[in-house]
Amino acid sequence: MMRKIFKNPAFEQKFRQDGYLTVPLLSKDDIQQCYDIYKKVVGEEFNQVFYTSHWNRDATYRRRIHDALNPLLSQRFNALFHRYKSPYSYFLVKHPHEEGEVAMHQDWTLIDEKKFVGVTAWCPLIDVEFHNGAFHVIKGSHRFLNNIRGDGFPFTYGEIKYEMEDYLEEVAVKAGTAVFFDHRLVHASPPNLSHQVRIAVGNVLIPHEAQFVHYRYNPQRSPSQLEYYTYNDEFLLEYAFGDSPEKLNFQKLVPKDNRTINLETFDRLYRTYNKQMPSQPQPYRQRFGGVKT
């Protein structure tokens, strides 16, 4: 029997089917509280075109943001989730700039995905649509492959990533409406071409009984295996992207058996879980003049 995620059965069904769900989360007062926190903690790094506070190398800084945001966010999550904890809260900021695209990707494997479902919450503090960097998903892609994702891993679908853009679906939401998505879901966002900074709050959510795990690909150690680590609920507060894994608890080496697929197989998988292709007014990249790199 699958471990329950949401308290609401309709939310549960849609999330498991599509890999994401939109839910009104923050009130106007909540949004103002998040803005007030942002103004107190904003630093120079937030002047980059796109920045998320969990990229910051300073654990004290990451913890200060988490400690300020988490009491509010965790209270809202508790009303929606069935025995999930929210061990990491952060900001994501996208400034107006033509180079602010966030490329297609999947989040890291953070828990044992054979037993549990990891969720990320992304909640903008302003209304968001295509022109200012709306969230985009490939619906159902959390069910395509069970590849492990982590430090040093190439994007599973890297060889067909531009062809996959035809399958992206825009998720336009109002201020305070959260996009909850499965860590395995393929997602992306275009640049912010408006005149207003797009600020969002983010949060990692995992089941109460789940433990953080971390996979690292180190070909110098073993080109055919992955390093497998575990850590407590402080993982994302104490470990920054690119840190040495010495502070983590090494468990073992596991086989590196991630699959790659061609576009034909991807299309077949997409149509297995979706009735029709998403409707786009024009090709994704053409809408913002993006260059393939």
CATH number at residue 41: 2.60.120.620
Measured in whole angstroms, how far is the alpha carbon of residue 271 from the centre of its chain? Answer: 23
State the number of CA atoms in the 13 A half-sphere of 203 facing the CB.
28
Assign 152 a pLDDT band (cuts: 50, 70, 90). Answer: confident
Lowest mean pLDDT among 42-51, 108-117, 262-271: 42-51
Structural domain including 64 reads: 9-278
Reported as a pLDDT band with limits 50, 70 and 90, residue 2 is: confident
Q: Domain for residue 283, yes or no?
A: no
> Span 72-95, mean pLDDT?
97
Q: For residue 1, is it within any domain?
A: no
Dist. CA 210–CA 101, nearest whole Å: 33
Q: 41-45, 66-70, 88-92: which has the minimum mean pLDDT?
A: 41-45
pLDDT tens digits along 186-241? 999 999 999 999 999 999 999 999 999 999 998 888 889 999 999 999 999 999 88
Q: Which residue has the higher pLDDT, 101 or 244?
A: 101
- Residue 154 is assigned to a structural domain of this protein: yes
User: What local confidence, expressed as pLDDT, does residue 43 receive?
Assistant: 66
| Cα distance between residue 210 and residue 265, in whole Å | 32
**pTM assigned to the model:** 0.95
Q: How many domains does the chain have?
A: 1
Establish if 192 belongs to a structural domain: yes
**Domain assignment present for 168:** yes
Top pLDDT among 34 and 285 is at 34
Report the chain's mean pLDDT, rounded to a whole number.
93
Q: Report the alpha-carbon distance of residue 41 to residue 37 in Å, rounded.
A: 6
Q: Is residue 292 part of a domain?
A: no
